[in-house]
Amino acid sequence: MAIKINLPVSESDIRKLKVGDLVLLSGVMSTGRDAAHKYIMENHPDFIRKYVKDSLLYHCGPVVKQDETGKWHFVAAGPTTSIREEPYEAHVIEEYQLRGVIGKGGMKDKTLAALKKFGAVYFHATGGAAASQGKAVVDVLDVFLLEELGVPEAFWIIKVKDFPVVVTMDSHGNSLHDKIKASSDKVADKLIGD
């Protein structure tokens, strides 16, 4: 059974989550990927603060369309690979009081330590399932730096409804990615041999 979480969410609720939990997320968050992390580290923008505090940053570069009234809609919106943000994410979690990030592929030790210290989790969304995920984005509230960063890299402020994710790194120091890496390394070492 999936756990339903409404955003913004409290630190204590986030700390209840464990690796392997299936979660349906609802509420407001911001997208932010490579150029967004660079921009955050250099400019510490205030415009996303109220949207991401006690909420999430989603590693996603969507396909969007604009209707005749000028309103934006998400067409396809799956996660991008998170590991590229490893050098920055711990800082972003601390500065913006995030309760987590959504991405794919998992992250490493520096982020895992920040999740534990500040009370946040890594939510894994299924890569390549973008058509379904686009449907879970029910509203686009705003967009920042669209012109400067382009469609995939802009900060999109979105509202999601029952967006499906799995907790793969929790606030207790556990990572599914580390576990699978260790077990697959054992098999690979044996296959490769001397």
Say whether residue 124 binds other proteins (CB under 8 A).
yes
Q: H-helix or E-strand containing 101?
A: strand 100-103
- What is the CB neighbour count within 10 angstroms for residue 12? 8
CB atoms within 10 A of CB 66: 10
Does residue 185 belong to the site contacting other proteins (CB under 8 A)?
Answer: yes
Q: What is the dihedral of CA 49, 5, 166, 157, to 10 degrees?
A: -30
**What angle in degrees, to the nearest 10, is found between the helix axes of 109-118 and 86-96?**
10
Distances (CA, A) of 149 to 51, 53, 128, 187: 19, 22, 23, 42
Interface map 130-149 toward other proteins (x if CB under 8 A): xxxxxx-------------x
Q: Which region, judged by CB under 8 A, interacts with other proteins, from 3-11, 81-89, 93-101, 109-117?
A: 81-89
Please report whether residue 184 would count as binding other proteins according to CB under 8 A. Answer: yes
| Min dist. Cβ of residue 123 to other proteins (A) | 12
* Residues making up the chain, counted from first to last: 194
- The smaller minimum CB distance to other proteins, of residues 46 and 194, is found at 194
73 is an active site residue:
no
Using CB under 8 A as the binding criterion, the count of chain residues that bind other proteins stands at 52
Site for other proteins contains 83 (CB under 8 A): yes
Closer residue to other proteins (CB): 83 or 138: 83
Q: By rule CB under 8 A, what string of x and - marks binding of each residue 39-78 to other proteins?
A: ---------------------xxxxxx---------xxxx
User: Is residue 100 left, alpha or beta, with left meaning phi > 0 and alpha meaning psi from -120 to 50?
Assistant: left
How far is C-alpha 12 from the chain's CA centre?
19
Binding site for other proteins (CB under 8 A): 20, 22, 35, 60-65, 75-78, 80-81, 83-84, 104-106, 124, 126-135, 149-153, 164, 166, 168, 176-177, 180-181, 183-185, 187-188, 191-194
Which are the catalytic amino acids?
37
